[in-house]
A and B are shown apart, each in its own frame.
Chain A
Amino acid sequence: MNETKSLKMREGLVRNWLRFSKNYLAMAGLFFLILIAVLAILAPWIAPYPNDAKLGVNFQKALLPPSKDHIFGTDEAGRDIFSRLLFGARISLMLAVIVLGIAFSIGVPLGIIAGYYGGAVDQIIMRITDVFSSIPALVMAMAVCVLLKPSLENSMIAIALVWWRSFCRLAYGETLHLKQEEYVTVSRSLGASSFYIMFREILPNMTSSLLVKVTLDAGYAILVGTSISYLGAGASPPTPEWGIMVAEGRHYLPESWWASLFPGLAIFLTVLSFNLLGDGLRDFFDVKVE
């Protein structure tokens, strides 16, 4: 019996993969993201100058252009940019995971509860969400960051505090729509508890839209994170965070263009990959629904 189950599941997965893989842009995004993730995980072992990511300074080698020894050149403190990028990838990806994880865990249950119960519960939750939604993400994150001491951890908390609202709204909309479905009426008539209906009947049916949102938002969250650090309210030097690297490198433009360009490119390509993957997922799910 178990073999049949896994065989049929695999059959479905293979078929879905074949259909998804026809979207070349999405596949490019997926490929690049996997590449970044692998590089980030292996950073301590493959970075040519791992010390440069922390405290290693060598002012004699400051601002060297890209060469055989230093693929992306060195920054103003003589640190290898490529190694720092690898460690920066860890930071950015970790930020995406933590921020989205927190935002998801707060926003989705709140949205489902508001949508399912309606009435006063709905109003209270959604009006609080409205308040949070009226402030632009970057501005609010900056404000929170400055209130607490500016640091990388605090910037993650700040962004998460700002991010949960859109998950709440998405889950709310989906719940409103899904609670009208006939299988929900059936379960309710059978005497299932509200908790069961919310999280075992309704939630599984919104996974596709949540997945698309998580993917697209990951890129945007990283962008906000790097922006906060760029503006000085997040991570502080010598942390090899991409945003700081761009900030520090900008003093040396345009002669030492590599100091800002490569971190900037890293941000650009990562966010773009998330976007392409998210778009591809959305197209994939759309056709299926039809």
Chain B
Amino acid sequence: MKKEPLLKASGITVSFYTIDGTSRVLNNVRLEINEGEVVGLVGETGSGKSVMAKLILGILPIPPARVISGEILFKGYDLLKASPDKREVLKEKMAYIPQDPTASLNPVFPIGTIFIDSIIWKQSGRSKSKFFLNRYIKKNRKEAAELAISLLKRVEIADPDKILYKYPFQLSGGMRQRVLLAMALIGSPELLIADEPTTALDVTIQKRILQLLQQKVKEENLSSLYITHDLGVARLLCDRIYVMYAGTIMESGDTKSLLENPYHPYTKGLIRAIPKLTGEDFDGIPGQAPNYLEFPPGCRFQARCLEKISLCARKEPELIEVEIGRFIACHHYQAR
């Protein structure tokens, strides 16, 4: 019998209320992550992928955002409707690696302070009063330091004990990202959400970090939601990919088959737009990034689609399973 997915989001619709109007940033999003799986969420800037990640983590600022509908089941509990206490308990099983390692580490504290505080916070069960008490007990700090060193060793940092005394600006980009990865592993999470962690890194360092991530995911039996705009990176790391455009899931499926044989016009356009080492032709997608305030009825991609049919302007396509494991939201394809 197929096991229940670790994370199952369905029908997620989120709107932002601003002076200029209401923009529906997430449009009926559906996402599933099974245990031990690395799922990629791929989209260009402004497609809403970070919003989705923040919603799952519970750090989306609720005004001006508003969840119109949908549920996110994590280990059986709906994250959106759970009580704050229950949500805290569930959040302990999630870890987050943010995009820019420089901006995520407070520059006035040495790595050790940041790390130890995070460990004690987790150990105090995320309760503020317990945290302030525990923070000043020397024994706690010593144990936390040892845990920090062992975690840093797991992400293959040399001389971890020296690193604790260094400030973030003294470390290179790759090392900062490793520190963040180590901090994400505190408390043995089950779900790792990584928001474009290698975008700011050089390509040879990126390769190393990706290999490290692959190793860790296998070793710790993590499930992961990997957000990126780089299809090449997604190909390396992810078992399945969701392709997102304008807040809508356009296509999803197993990585290799999706990239070798895309069905959705947007996915095809995206793949065609990337220059390839084979030297084959590459070309952009016509049109411009969408205006979230005014969407015409029907499919959100129609303005830029080369394969649209008349139905596309009338009705929004649904995400339907066309083959085993391959989902697509496109009238043109479904009409075949």
Chain A positions near chain B (C-beta within 8 angstroms): 15, 18-19
Q: Is B1 an interface residue (CB 8 A)?
A: no
Q: Is B260 an interface residue (CB 8 A)?
A: no
Chain B positions near chain A (C-beta within 8 angstroms): 19-20
Q: 4 smallest A-B Cβ distances: which pairs?
A: A19-B19, A18-B19, A15-B19, A15-B20
CA distance A7 to B20 in the complex (A): 17
Quote the shortest CB–CB distance from A281 to chain B (angstroms): 17
Taking CB as reference atom, which chain B residue is nearest A18? B19
Quote the shortest CB–CB distance from A218 to chain B (angstroms): 28
Taking CB as reference atom, which chain A residue is nearest B20? A15
CA distance A18 to B20 in the complex (A): 10
Quote the shortest CB–CB distance from A285 to chain B (angstroms): 16
Q: Which residues of B contact A15 (CB under 8 A)?
A: 19-20
Quote the shortest CB–CB distance from B22 to chain A (angstroms): 15
Interface of A is mostly: helix
> Once A and B bind, how many residue pairs between them come within 8 Å at the CB atom?
4
Q: Which residues of B contact A19 (CB under 8 A)?
A: 19
Q: Which residues of A contact B19 (CB under 8 A)?
A: 15, 18-19
CA distance A4 to B19 in the complex (A): 23
Taking CB as reference atom, which chain A residue is nearest B18? A19
Quote the shortest CB–CB distance from B61 to chain A (angstroms): 13
Quote the shortest CB–CB distance from B301 to chain A (angstroms): 28
Quote the shortest CB–CB distance from B67 to chain A (angstroms): 24
Q: List 4 A-B contacts (CB under 8 A).
A: A15-B19, A15-B20, A18-B19, A19-B19
CA distance A18 to B18 in the complex (A): 11
Quote the shortest CB–CB distance from B16 to chain A (angstroms): 15
Quote the shortest CB–CB distance from A103 to chain B (angstroms): 35
Quote the shortest CB–CB distance from A18 to chain B (angstroms): 6
Quote the shortest CB–CB distance from B84 to chain A (angstroms): 28
CA distance A15 to B20 in the complex (A): 8
Q: Which residues of B contact A18 (CB under 8 A)?
A: 19
Quote the shortest CB–CB distance from B293 to chain A (angstroms): 12
CA distance A47 to B160 in the complex (A): 79
CA distance A35 to B19 in the complex (A): 28
Q: Which residues of A contact B20 (CB under 8 A)?
A: 15
Quote the shortest CB–CB distance from A99 to chain B (angstroms): 36
CA distance A202 to B190 in the complex (A): 51
CA distance A18 to B21 in the complex (A): 12
CA distance A90 to B21 in the complex (A): 43
CA distance A44 to B20 in the complex (A): 44
CA distance A35 to B20 in the complex (A): 30
Quote the shortest CB–CB distance from B17 to chain A (angstroms): 13
Taking CB as reference atom, which chain B residue is nearest A19? B19
CA distance A19 to B20 in the complex (A): 10
Taking CB as reference atom, which chain B residue is nearest A16? B19
Quote the shortest CB–CB distance from A81 to chain B (angstroms): 44
CA distance A19 to B19 in the complex (A): 7
Quote the shortest CB–CB distance from B294 to chain A (angstroms): 15
CA distance A18 to B19 in the complex (A): 8
CA distance A100 to B19 in the complex (A): 34
Quote the shortest CB–CB distance from B149 to chain A (angstroms): 37
Quote the shortest CB–CB distance from B92 to chain A (angstroms): 31
CA distance A19 to B64 in the complex (A): 14
Quote the shortest CB–CB distance from B334 to chain A (angstroms): 40
Quote the shortest CB–CB distance from A11 to chain B (angstroms): 10
CA distance A226 to B20 in the complex (A): 44
CA distance A91 to B20 in the complex (A): 42
Quote the shortest CB–CB distance from A118 to chain B (angstroms): 26
Taking CB as reference atom, which chain B residue is nearest A22? B19
CA distance A19 to B18 in the complex (A): 10
